[in-house]
Chains A and B, each alone.
Chain A
Amino acid sequence: MTGYVLRRIVQAAVVLLLVSVIVFVMLHELPGGTARAVLGERATNVAIEQFNKQNGFDQPLPVQYWRWLDQIVHGDLGFSFKQNESVSQLLADRLPKTMLLAGTSVLLALLVSIPLGFVQALRRNRLVDYFLTAMAFVFYSTPAFWLALVLITLFAIQLRLFPAQAPQGSIGQIVAEPGGMVLPVLTIALVSIAFFSRYVRSSTLENLLQDYVRTARAKGASTWRVAFGHVLRNALVPVVTLVGLSLPFVFAGTLISEEIFNYPGMGLLFYNAAVARDYPVLLGVTLVVGAATVVGSLLADICYGLLDPRVRLARR
């Protein structure tokens, strides 16, 4: 197990380093360079040269990369000239809120999609299965922003059950107002449920074909017992990986949801930065989201190794 974990950690570290290289390349692909992005289009060449010199942008690229990496490791993600605040500070404020939104949505999606997918697999090619499959496809295929606006029309305007705007302020204030979280969470969860339940369904179907199912049935176990005593726990193991894999998907969902409900998270920060061409923020958020995904899938893989010995023993 230690070997497996170590190997995965080294891999994740390499990936993390590559993510930083990609972000660094993006930083240098900015039209007109960082100086233009910061000083504006009308800056004189002298001003730009001076800015480059001050910030070390006249150094060779590897030197610049090393210095940039050094800054990041020390928690300095750059400075947003547009918002006059350091990127780390902006992120420290926004990241927990996005975690809250994403976490709640994934939890809800799992709680709903596991029973749904399981029932679908047990009743394969029956009416229930067809109906839920059709629902899953429709929700998965609906643009998330449209879904969000349908939810607003239905629950905020017609039924007046939940507000159309997410709670604002600190994370404490957000938690104190759970009603406002319902629609943003639902927007992400509905699409995720469609995605997760298909996965649970096929994972269960795969397990139903295994030899241990036949053995259990041969011993006289009832369908009920085979399903809940044997198949369910085995079918749930890959769900751990699913949660790790779905992180980029969920982050994309938070971006849309935060934009529509004005939820003060990282997605909204990123969106506003993209509109305002606030590059330090764009790159800082990209880096953090990338790192979060890498760490998330590392944890998922380690959990998977714990749950399924075949994984950690196989690739020796």
Chain B
Amino acid sequence: MSTAIGLTERDAAVAEAAAEGGLRLAADVFLENKLALAAAVTFAVIALFCFVGPLVYHTDQVHTNISQTTRHPGSAHLLGTDDVGYDELGRLMVGGQTSLEIALGAAAVAVVVGVLWGAIAGFFGGIVDAVMMRVVDAVLAIPALFLLLFLASITTASVGILIAVVGLIAWLVPARLVRGETLSLRTREYVQAVRVMGGGPLRIILRHIVPNTIGTVIVNATFQIADAILVVAALSFLGLGIPPPSANWGGMLSNGLNYSYAGYWWLVYPPGVAIVITVVCFNFIGDALRDAFEVRLRRR
């Protein structure tokens, strides 16, 4: 019965593939789930566009050009120019670099801090766990955008600062997830075996617990990247992003929206669509990975 109620045949196939475990799993997920494969390929194209594109398509993204403002798309400027004369297509590439760098950097910071925090809290348990987790609860209680706006108002944003600031707020969720998994991992036989053999807490956490939470962590990291792109865009819109001449998709979009009534669609849709597509890609990839990992957990 492969109708609405009960497992479908596809699930069974995924479960079987997933049971093989390891890195094979990721490959299987992408081959099994065409949507996720399409998302991964799309992201690869976007990354190439941003980082390799400027090598092919040369534009000046530092000096403004007042005589060439808001030109319609044409042969000289494939996507027109913006309100201070930057070539929009070239800016889309450079802005994409910034957006992706911040998003990937912030996700990396979030994952490293979150995994260590969660693993330490879960492993030691008791009062250590209680204190560490209440700290997570407390920071989580303050909406990220409020904290970010506050932090952004006392510093001048740069790529490094945004990575640190977004990452230091985003680590909370992975910390919770990893702590939950650590609670069950620390009672496993192989962890007890390491203990008996004289392995210290550091060794157990880094070599035996963290690697086993990798599934959860990868899934969460993908969502973190997606969220970071949106958060940075929101900050740019609120006027607390990275100041010009640096560009990022969120800043370009919010700047372009000022001209949407003038009909300058090429200042709105390219950065907007770039954000939506990139975020959708990461969400699709994350969803597919999570489905696969959850099926694997269910089979255990």
Interface residues of A (CB under 8 A from B): 11, 14-16, 18-19, 21-22, 26, 29-31, 121-125, 137-138, 140-146, 149, 153, 157, 208-209, 213-214, 217, 223, 226-227, 247-249, 251-252, 255-256, 259, 270-271, 274-275, 277, 282, 285-286, 289-291, 293-294, 297
Q: How many A-B residue contacts, CB cutoff 8 Å?
A: 143
Q: Taking the complex as formed, is B242 at the interface, i.e. its CB lies under 8 A from any CB of chain A?
A: no
Q: B279–A248 contact, CB under 8 A? A: no
Partner of A15, one of B138, B239, B250: B138
Instruction: Tell me the B1-57 residues at the A interface (CB within 8 Å).
Output: 3-8, 10
Q: Contacts of A122 on B, CB cut-off 8 Å?
A: 4-5
Complex: A223 Cα to B3 Cα, angstroms:
10
Partner of A137, one of B3, B268, B283: B283
With A15-B134, A124-B4 as given contacts, are A141 and B143 in contact (CB-CB < 8 Å)?
no
Complex: A122 Cα to B3 Cα, angstroms:
9
Q: In the complex, what residue of chain B is closest to A134 when comparing beta carbons?
A: B280
Partner of A141, one of B140, B154, B280: B280
Complex: A216 Cα to B147 Cα, angstroms:
49
Complex: A14 Cα to B131 Cα, angstroms:
9
Complex: A252 Cα to B143 Cα, angstroms:
6
Q: B260–A286 contact, CB under 8 A? A: no
Q: B137–A15 contact, CB under 8 A? A: yes
With A208-B6, A271-B238 as given contacts, are A141 and B275 in contact (CB-CB < 8 Å)?
yes
Q: B143–A143 contact, CB under 8 A? A: no
Partner of B149, one of A29, A124, A145, A274: A274
Q: B143–A248 contact, CB under 8 A? A: yes
Partner of B140, one of A124, A248, A259: A248
Q: Contacts of A125 on B, CB cut-off 8 Å?
A: 8, 10
Q: Taking the complex as formed, is B84 at the interface, i.e. its CB lies under 8 A from any CB of chain A?
A: no
Q: Taking the complex as formed, is B142 at the interface, i.e. its CB lies under 8 A from any CB of chain A?
A: yes
Segment of B62-70, B190-198, B226-234 in the binding face: B226-234
Partner of B272, one of A121, A143, A209, A271: A143
With A125-B8, A143-B237, A248-B140 as given contacts, are A285 and B276 in contact (CB-CB < 8 Å)?
no
Q: B280–A145 contact, CB under 8 A? A: no
